Amino acid sequence: MNEIRAVVTGIGCVTPIGIGVEALWAGVQRGESAVKPIDRFAPEGLRSRIAAQIPHFEATAFMDKKRAHRMDRYSQLAVAGGIMALRDAGLDAEDLETERAGVFMGSALGGIAFAEEQCGQYFQGGFRSVSPTLGFSVFGGAASCNLAMEFGFTGPNETNSMSCGSGAVAIGRALQAIRRGEADVVLAGGSEAPLAPLSFGAFDMLRAMSTRNEEPASASRPFDRTRDGFVMGEGSAILVIEAEHHARARGARIYGELAGFGLTNDAHHMSAPLPTGEQAARALKLALSSADMSPDDVSYVNAHGSSTLLNDVTESKVIRSVFGSRPVAVSGTKGLYGHPLGASGAIEAAITLLSLNQGWLPPTTNLNDPDPEAEIDLVSRQAREVKAEAAVSNSYGFGGVNAVLAFRKA
């Protein structure tokens, strides 16, 4: 029996550099950082006071006011991304066999912002001040369930919370569902809205975030010698993943094949990567094996590139260990939109697909002085035009999560 192939036919996204796939790609090509002083709350007392915020998102552009009111922002971002993704794919939910349509989502923190807000309400006015929507607004699965209800999809539905690898894991789970024949169409991706005082402050207390407050646009600088931590962001990206035969039968435009997925855990530390990168390298090898690719097939790596001291060096070791001395172009795109935690792997999957599709590899924003320990072929100041046939996207997260997606050009 031939294995069912999975292809990507639609992309929807809400990011600090653009809303919608065309705006996202335009933002990538502009190469301008969206990191600015945070204005979502008063950051007094924090070491880091900058973030990559979405400047012009109105949930009511995608749903009515009552429905928006019943969702945390992370669910709003997810539903908006899903609506745009289906539209981009040329699909109408009413024309689909809904039992063969599913949703796989990832989010590190879920509805944390609304939870924080309601805690404040409780301490000020007691239980009667708390919103009755709290329970179903903040739970981890709210995004995937809201997407299912938006479109009437009654197939497989799941939200994972694998820290910063969540979006990539969701896309990988969608690939597995397609291959097993459990669905013909899947919405998959990640959503995150973590810009709330306690959540932001917790990462600040870890001393994991950049304190380049006077130069926010240059704060997120993957693989640069002077990097000093990540910059928190927010956003969502949803892909429409279809069984290839389903997509071709309707004459769909195909961005590329979702060809492989690898997932491992360091089993080492909650916030630091395994220094050898052994398990992250194994995840990359598993993704290539799942895609029936060899390292020689890959021309581009979209790196996790979080701009932290430990991650970037470890990731460079991983890339060298898998690809050896052969130069493989590597860029990290978090210099543009910061680190949107569980949404990052999904946003970067979209960028990887677009890079393959356009033959244009984005430079690593703010990479001016490459770390000498990062002995890899970094795309720095200028983009590269390359006829790449295959690419991988790395996503790593707290708790030792290593998730890798492999893509093949359509």
- Residues identified as active-site: 164, 304, 339
As a dihedral over the C-alpha atoms of residue 227, residue 298, residue 319, residue 396, rounded to 10 degrees, the angle is 70
Tell me, what DSSP letter sits at residue 90? T
The phi-psi region of residue 404 (left if phi > 0; otherwise alpha if psi is between -120 and 50; otherwise beta) is: beta
In sequence order, the 6+-apart residues with CB closer than 8 A to the CB of 45 are none
| Cα separation, 349 vs 163, whole angstroms | 16
The DSSP output letter for 2 is: P
CA distance linking residue 107 with residue 194, whole number of Å: 10
> What's phi and psi for 365, nearest 5 deg?
-60, 135
DSSP state letters, 330-380: EE--HHHH-B-GGGHHHHHHHHHHHHHHHTEEPP-TT-SSB-TT--SEE--
Query: Of 145, 170, 153, 146, which Cα lies nearest the Cα of 91?
Result: 153
